[in-house]
Chains A and B, each alone.
Chain A
């Protein structure tokens, strides 16, 4: 007799709602226009976000702990949904110009989000892996959908490197299973604290292989090589999605696996510290040399990976809270900045930094919004990016990684220079003809930008609005379950 697993669908609700959006895009695409589908998906995402609120404080789990709707999952899921909402709003305006306005695009996007949410809600390594693969495969397709050589090249690069990353990750996963005899985070966490020496070696090996695998997904140096090409080559709305939602999901996975399951495992902390140091240096210095604004944002996303990663160096309580806060802020500011690029660029290559001269006098609203985003990305108060940066500095500093904090501070100077240049060029008077797309300013994109800018401003002045949710240390002590 077939044993039916105990499967409560309530904790799955946010995922199911997004999945419903994905399936409806797949099926209804034959009859409905893409715009209608996008509105349906926006509805699905909003409903999913509401269900996240509804599930708050219930601490449900399903599939024997394989899928958990605990506080951490809900907080990270909310961030993912916020990024998705902004992406969908932007695609309403720009998908047609980017030649990706067909239902498959929306379907792929929503499948990717389903995968992202699965990672955040995962309670064991297999669910995490399934989520990661759904997310990755959909992202490869998204990066290639636009029928251009650049998109195809970037998609292929993404696919090859991503597949290699996944392979390494699965290899590491097998090692961890070998060392602990379980795939469940809670059991792994329990076993790692009482491990005999023979198994420790295998565990360390597994942890490091998984670190490499995740390194590919979040773009930690030296595994970041694909990022600038993919972010630069894909349609801007896709870059927006990849650099926010997908990255948030990958970090959610890292948080679950490393700060949760492998928190007691030796070795990976110091290796991660070195990788982060490399990421901070490479990302910031490379961004300094970019002349294309979109590419610069791609490298800045790499640099931010370094900052976000610093949260993992902290204790789960401090680091999880820092990451929870920073991920939302990062999503808001990066998505808003890329939304403006998507609206104003003439071609999908983005525009050059020098083309931004005098933007304030042509599109004052977007220029001020972009300036706010750049100031926030640079970590200038009173915008929320500052508190994000401060929190990760503090998390690393408190846990004995003062040198990483100092290095991060020093490399931030380079970051400030490359954010500052476009930020200031916009306000310089200019008499040459405009070089951006004149009709780019439309209501949905403006709404997405307004969401982002209002978010970073309000969360900067009153960080507690969001931080109060993520600050509770118990949330992050239970990353791996009990």
Chain B
């Protein structure tokens, strides 16, 4: 039995990729079912790992002469994020299968990307992490290329250039971490025992941070994000995968903090400042958006500012909050992107100034509103626990920066409610098309994430129990801060 549990994370990582390849040879009529089945199976593997209390570290020497290992482990924060990824990929497949005409390539890409994402969360070797980090990029680019809108080429180049700019600097940092520290391999267990010290650590941290700041994204490296979302397919399916792609916060938490403890303490004030600014600045811009996708993109950016604030503060409460927010932000932002897709399907545009949708599509409006409540951290929903813990923890480190970031919660309520009011309430314009309410699986697609958000908003213990030991273990590297 023990050997099987060792293999479970590997199974969970590569099952979707296998499914993705399988789809290429599956007859058209069964594609949806096969994709859904594979995604459900992946989620099941994740739940099995959770039930077993997380997996042990599995290590296999991948390229021995280079010291690159295949080390994977799913437990604590990584398991939580992998579970969310598996769930949202399943939901995205459920929606894509119905919504997109000839969805074969899209389903393949979703599954391929799921492999990259779960791999990112499971990797316990820096090179392996890098490999998955880049791998998740390829399906994202292809989704944009195959299903994007007219301006996609510019968005695509921007997205890729930003991401790769960061990740290549990270690659140099990764090489540096190993050689300047003298570690025998790239596995985290080895690297942690051979830390780089002095100013070299700061430089390497900066290289690493650049990649993560692009992914987070952190001001001023965020410019790719709104275009990426705006140019993607209307259904919102690629956007769901885009929100799952925010591995920056996780990367800093799992890799940067343990490997660069001194540098992260040293740069803490600057980085917290950037994070707080990002949160507020993005919320302010979100307020001015009239395109739902751009609005959601900036809202997501604002949340990520919060996550960054929590992680950079290096305070236990705040870091737990950040990880909690990171996990559940994927649920509500992802579901909101899908609801925007549904809205677009009905009214044919992504404009926020439509008016009166609520009168005809009550369920869509109601569920969307509830998801927005989760997004703006209304107590009783999971977003609140995350944001509140971050503010609580960060306050102990830097009250003023926390105050600035705290203003964001007010701004968030303003942009979310204004846009929602414009679209769903207000008067219905004369001669507008009739809007159909939710049908078939659409109910499930919005209700499952919402149900989980309520569940973990009220009863957060299981998730917190999962994350707390992992956060403590990471922060202990800082010498009991």
Contacts and interface: CB of A to CB of B under 8 A. Distances in A.
A420 B142 CA distance: 10
B267 to A, nearest CB: 19
Nearest to B179: A398
A410 B164 CA distance: 9
Contact of A467 (B66, B138, B142, B165): B66
A402 B146 contact: no
Interface stretch (B169-177, B464-472, B473-481): B169-177
Contacts of B65: 321, 464, 467-468, 471
A386 interface: yes
Contact of B175 (A387, A393, A410, A425): A393
Interface stretch (B129-137, B252-260, B304-312, B402-410): B129-137
Contact of B134 (A381, A406, A468): A381
A417 B168 contact: no
B63 A402 contact: no
A406 B135 contact: no
Contacts of A398: 179
A402 to B, nearest CB: 7
B157 interface: yes
Interface residues of A, number: 34
Given A427-B142, A464-B64, A413 B153 contact: no
Contact of B172 (A375, A405, A421): A405
Contact of A393 (B137, B153, B171): B171
A464 B66 CA distance: 9
Interface string B125-159: 00100110011011001101110000011001100
Contacts of B156: 420, 424
Contact of A409 (B127, B161, B172): B172
A16 B130 CA distance: 45
B430 to A, nearest CB: 36
Highest count of chain A CB atoms <10 Å: which of B135, B142, B161, B172: B172
Contacts of B169: 406, 409-410
B400 to A, nearest CB: 35
Contacts of A420: 141, 156-157, 160
Interface string A363-406: 00000000000010000111000110011011001100010011
A29 interface: no
Interface in B417-440: none
B315 to A, nearest CB: 33
Given A393-B172, A405-B175, A467-B66, A380 B138 contact: yes
A258 B284 CA distance: 59
A412 B141 contact: no
A406 B65 CA distance: 24
A417 B137 CA distance: 14
Interface residues of B, number: 31
Contacts of B179: 394, 397-398
A397 B172 contact: yes
A468 B66 CA distance: 10
A454 to B, nearest CB: 15
A425 B176 CA distance: 36
Contact of A424 (B131, B135, B153, B164): B153
Contacts of B176: 397, 402
A47 interface: no
Given A424-B141, A427-B142, A463-B63, A390 B157 contact: no
A312 B13 CA distance: 38
A114 B89 CA distance: 55
A193 to B, nearest CB: 26
A417 B160 contact: yes
A463 B142 CA distance: 25
B160 A416 contact: yes
A395 to B, nearest CB: 10
Contacts of B171: 390, 393, 409
Contacts of B172: 393, 397, 402, 405-406, 409
Interface in B161-197: 161, 164-165, 168-169, 171-172, 175-176, 179
A467 B68 CA distance: 13
Highest count of chain B CB atoms <10 Å: which of A386, A393, A413: A413
Contacts of A164: none
A424 B145 contact: yes
Given A412-B164, A428-B146, A381 B135 contact: yes
Nearest to B65: A471
A467 B64 CA distance: 10
B168 A412 contact: yes
Contacts of A380: 134-135, 137-138
Interface string A456-468: 0000000110011
Interface in A406-462: 406, 409-410, 412-413, 416-417, 420-421, 424-425, 427-429
Given A386-B134, A406-B172, 14 more contacts: A380-B135, A381-B131, A397-B176, A405-B172, A409-B169, A409-B172, A410-B168, A416-B160, A420-B160, A421-B157, A428-B145, A428-B152, A463-B66, A468-B65
27 contacts: A321-B65, A381-B130, A382-B131, A387-B63, A390-B127, A393-B171, A393-B175, A394-B175, A394-B179, A397-B176, A397-B179, A402-B176, A405-B172, A406-B169, A409-B169, A410-B168, A410-B169, A413-B161, A424-B144, A424-B145, A425-B153, A427-B142, A429-B146, A463-B63, A463-B66, A464-B64, A468-B65
